[in-house]
Amino acid sequence: MTEPILEVKDLHVRFPVRRNMLGRTTVENHAVSGVDLTLMPGETLGLVGESGCGKTTLGRTIVGAQQATSGSILYDGHDLTALKSREKGRYRRQIRMVFQDPFSSLNPRMTLRQIIGDPLVATGEARGAELEDRVAAIMRKVGLSPDYMDRYPHAFSGGQRQRVNIARALIVNPKLVVADEPVSALDVSVRAQILNLLRELQEEYGLTYLFISHDLSVIENIADRVAVMYFGKIVELAGTAALYERPQHPYTEALMSAVPIPDPALRGRGGRILLPDELPDPANPPPGCAFARRCRYAEPGRCDTGAIPLEDGARCVRQEELDLQGIVEAESTKP
């Protein structure tokens, strides 16, 4: 069997929000709480959830832009959270990130030659003519002419800037790419082009993607598996087809109900599930299921006490269906 390229085990990320007079942290925001994930080589894992659920923090922690509070991130069997800075660099270059905003993620004072070639300069991997050749080659791969090498970011559209972002990420030949909302800031007409480009590059280079998005339509289009994140935790993880056909967690069910349906004849079926806007306090996480206060299936004494394993929480919707089916069958057998 193929070994995972990435394993995230019991990962926690907390941010201090209050300190005492001695400088010790007294209150923390729990951004990521006990996340477990596994990525196989060549697959695309979609990570979905509403704003503020911890998706971007998780992605930044995986690429090393954010320090983990506890837990482990195993890349090719090496725990990146336990390595020294010099050792981390060797593995971190194999994990790159494509940022959400193609406008703010590029330095306006640098040319495309400098922006795309910067990772090679930083690692000392290429300089001079070799650097220029590699920058030109990757620009062609992402659909940009090398003639634009000495132009600045302001001369390009949002879609072209995102191609620059992708080129910068791929120039060091990574194996894993964390794409944080790579098409959310783009026009609808450009999104399909960037998604097709990402698929082509994945096939050519054998890339593995962690694709972060709040757009369920995009995730359905590109992901092999989907992880649903809520309040810093993974509440459901399943194959794309299975998850979209029959979500198992109430939060996933609510997300699916918000997806627009293009066919007018099918609209209105199932109904939109509206959630009360009562998000828990990240500095004071509730016991049990964090979604219990907003869940229509919640049972006092079961859902709001103690830790709920992922597999148990992801059976909530299905269990409701089974319970209803049992009632119907029982009624039908009555004399």
- Say if CB 303 and CB 289 are below 8 A apart: yes
Between CA 199 and CA 43 the distance in angstroms is 11
Say what percent of the chain tops pLDDT 70. Answer: 89
Backbone angles phi and psi of 222, in degrees to 5? -120, -20
pLDDT tens-digit profile of 227-271? 999 999 999 999 999 999 999 999 999 998 887 766 555 555 557
Widest Cα–Cα separation across the chain: 88
Which pLDDT does position 106 carry in this prediction? 94
Residue 323 is predicted with a pLDDT of 59
Residue 266: its pLDDT value, please? 52
Distance CA 148, CA 136 (A): 9
The four Cα atoms 305, 307, 308, 309 give a dihedral, to 10 degrees, of -170
Q: What was the pLDDT predicted at 6? A: 96
Q: What angle do CA 171, 126, 41 make, to 5 degrees?
A: 35
Q: What is the pLDDT of residues 21-59, one digit of tens each?
A: 666 766 788 999 999 999 999 999 999 998 889 999 999
* Whole-number pLDDT of residue 258: 81
The answer to whether residues 177 and 96 touch, using CB atoms and an 8 Å cutoff, is yes
Going by the DSSP 8-state scheme, the letter that residue 286 receives in this structure is P
Predicted pLDDT at 265: 58
Distance CA 11, CA 32 (A): 7
Q: In residues, how long is the chain?
A: 335
pTM value is 0.89
Check the CA dihedral 263-267-270-273 and report its sign.
Answer: positive
Contact indicator for 45, 227 with CB cutoff of 8 Å: yes
Which residue ranges in the chain fall short of pLDDT 70? 1, 20-23, 25-26, 261-270, 318-335
Q: Where are the beta strands (DSSP E) in 63-135?
A: 70-75, 78-79, 95-98
Contacts of 257 (CB under 8 A, 6+ apart): 270, 271, 272, 273
Which pLDDT score is estimated for 199?
Answer: 96
**What is the strand order of the sheet 208-212 is part of?**
95-98, 176-180, 208-212, 44-48, 225-230, 233-239
Angle between helices 158-170 and 112-123 (to 10 degrees): 20
The whole-chain average pLDDT of the chain stands at 87
Cα 304 from Cα 313, distance rounded (Å): 12
**Cβ contact 31:12 at 8 Å:** no
Which residues 6+ apart lie within 8 Å of 186 measured at CB?
102, 158, 159, 162, 194
- The per-residue pLDDT for 272 is 80
d(CA 48, CA 26): 31
Residue 135 contacts residue 149 (beta carbons within 8 Å): yes
pLDDT of 298: 85
Cα separation, 285 vs 296, whole angstroms: 20
Domains, the chain, ranges and CATH? 6-332 (3.40.50.300)
Q: How close are the terminal C-alpha atoms of the chain, in Å?
A: 54
Name 247's bridge partners.
none
Residue 125, φ and ψ in degrees, nearest 5: -80, -30
